[in-house]
Amino acid sequence: MDRKKIVAGNWKMNLTVNESQNLAQEISNQIATIETPNTRIIIAPTFTNLYPVYHHTKLDHRLEIAAQNMHQAVKGAFTGEISAEMLKSVGVNVVILGHSERRQYFCETNEALAKKIETVLEKDMDAIFCFGEVLEDRKADKHFEVVERQIKEVLFYFNPEYFKSIILAYEPVWAIGTGETATPEQAQEMHAFVRKLLAEKFGQEIADQVSILYGGSVKPGNAKEIFSKPDVDGGLIGGAALKAEDFTAIVKAIN
C-alpha cells in the first residue's frame, strides 16, 4: 500500500504578508535539511498571502501551497468570494474544505461542500475534506453516526476516480485548538471506520489509496504516537503550524 503521508499546516486568519513569507521561508529552510520520502508537506496561508508566499519566497520544491476555503461556483456575482481558478492562478494546488470553523461560523453545509470539492477537482487541484464530531456527539456516543453522515452526504455520489485527488482529515471538533487530543486509539478507530465505509461503497483498492489525516492539537510531543497508527496517514496542524520548529518536528515525526 503506497498511500501518501501528508503534513498540512492550516495558518487560519493569522500573519501579515511579511510574517507569512518569513514563516514559509523558515519552514522551507528547515525542511531542506531533512529527507521526507513519500511525504507531502503543505502550508495554507490566508488568501491575501498566497501569492507573495508562492511567488516571492524561494521555497523548497516539496512545499505545496493550499488555500483554506473557496467558493463552489466557477465565477460570477459572489461578492467577497474566491474561485478555484483564482487560486490555481496564484500557485495553489490544494484546497482545505469543510473545516469545522467554516461549518460552525459560516454555515457551510455538506451539500455546498460536495460542490466545492467537485469544483476543486475540475481544476486539477486536490481537496482536503475535513469532518468530525462535536463534543456532545462524542459524549452521547454518536460520533460514528455523525461522521458516517458527513462522509456519505459529501463523498458518496462521487465518481471513484475523484479519490485520487481527495485527502480526508478527521478533526474531532473538541480537539481543535483546545490542547485536548484524541488518543491515538480514538484516531485509529475513526480512521479505520471511515476507510471501511469507503471500502464498502467504492472497493478496498480505493479505500486503501486515500490518505486520512488526523487534526486536533497535534504537537511535536504527541505527533509520533498518533502517526504510528496504521490508518493515520498524517496530520492537519493548526496552532503548531505557526512555529517553524514545531511544524518541522511534526514533519520529522512522520518519517
* 234: contact with ligand PEP by CB under 6 A: no
Query: Of residues 99, 101, 133, 191, which has the active-site annotation?
Result: 99
* 218: contact with ligand PEP by CB under 6 A: yes
CB atoms under 10 Å from CB of 180, counted, come to 12
Secondary structure class of 96 (helix, strand, coil): strand
**Which part of the chain contacts ligand PEP (CB under 6 A), choosing from 58-66, 150-158, 196-204, 236-244?**
236-244
Q: Environment class of residue 105 by beta-carbon count within 10 Å: exposed (0-12), middle (13-18) or buried (19+)?
A: exposed
Give the one residue of 21, 217, 222, 248 binding ligand PEP; rule: CB under 6 A. Answer: 217
DSSP 146-213: HHHHHHHHHHTTS-GGGGGGEEEEE--GGGSSSS----HHHHHHHHHHHHHHHHHHH-HHHHHHS-EE
Rg (CA), the chain: 17
Q: Which of residues 143-182 bind ligand PEP (CB under 6 A)?
A: 171, 176-177
**Which part of the chain contacts ligand PEP (CB under 6 A), choosing from 24-32, 81-89, 110-118, 214-222?**
214-222
CB 212 within 8 A of CB 233: yes
Q: Which is nearer to ligand PEP, 65 or 207 (CB)?
A: 65
Q: Which is nearer to ligand PEP, 203 or 221 (CB)?
A: 221
> What is the closest distance, in whole angstroms, from the C-beta atom of residue 130 to ligand PEP in the complex?
7
Is 99 a catalytic site residue?
yes
* 108: contact with ligand PEP by CB under 6 A: no
Residues with a known catalytic role: 99, 171
